[in-house]
Amino acid sequence: MVGLRGISHLLALWAHFYSQTTAVRATVTYVHLGGILLGGGLAIAADVAALRLSPETVPDWTRELDRLAAVHRWVVGGLALTFASGTLLLLAEVDTFATSIVFWIKMALVALLLGNGYARLRCEIALRRGGVARWGWFRRASIASLALWLLIVLAAPLDHLTSRGSRAMTPAFTVRVPVHVYLLQLRVLAAWWCLGSSRLEPQVLLPYLAARLPRFSHVV
């Protein structure tokens, strides 16, 4: 319990710091979107180049595979930045993202992207070992990677905009009541708190505490 309370306290501190500091919000959002653009941009360029690659048209296709494989570390770096900054965004606005349909769609796309990336990596290994029959699977994995990256690049800013919109549209109401009604409600809540019973509803105390209070013309 102590550990959970400590974690909840840290999350609350981070959420407060994030919401109150414009520079932190801008930096985290910039790193998140920048990581997606870095990894996605290089991956999309590599996918397009992979679709042009073929044993019939490119004699030295093994060297081309090595060149495409060198892009992987940059893509992984972009994904690492995206995951790190995305975790900070999630921890700062858990309630917002937990109910965001766009967020969960983006997470599903990322999971598919990781699975497809692993499948494509296995195809590249098989091609280097002479498995020319894997060219079809390699092309399919490249097409899937291209489509998934385009969808993720679209979903990332859309998720950010929808989360900001949901916070901006949160309604706030101000209720103005006469002073004697306000004081009566305070007496009811005080009596309910002193009794210390959660089974007793505050409304039950209203008939017994509805003593005449001085009426004022002001409202609060």
Of 39, 122, 28, nearest in space to 73 by CA: 39
pLDDT at 116: 92
User: What is the per-residue pLDDT across 76-102, written as a single tens digit (0 to 9) for each?
Assistant: 999 999 999 989 988 888 888 888 888
Give the SS3 label for residue 114. helix
Q: Can you tell me the distance from the alpha carbon of 14 to that of 20, in angstroms, rounded to the nearest whole number?
A: 10
The string of pLDDT tens digits covering residues 98-155 is 888 888 898 999 999 999 989 988 888 888 777 666 788 888 898 999 999 888 888 8
User: In terms of pTM, does the model score above 0.95?
Assistant: no
- Asked if the model's pLDDT at residue 212 lies above 50, the reply is no
Exposure string of 44-78, with b = 16+ CB inside 10 Å and e = fewer, is bebbeebeebeeeeeeebeebbeebeebbeebeeb
Q: How far is residue 50's CA from residue 56's CA, in Å, rounded to a whole number?
A: 14
Model confidence at 208: pLDDT above 80: no
Bridge partners (DSSP) of residue 219 are: 178
pLDDT digits (tens, 9 = 90+) for 155-182: 877 776 666 555 544 555 566 667 666 6
Which residues have C-beta within 8 Å of that of residue 45, sequence separation ≥ 6?
71
| Residue 213: pLDDT over 60 | no
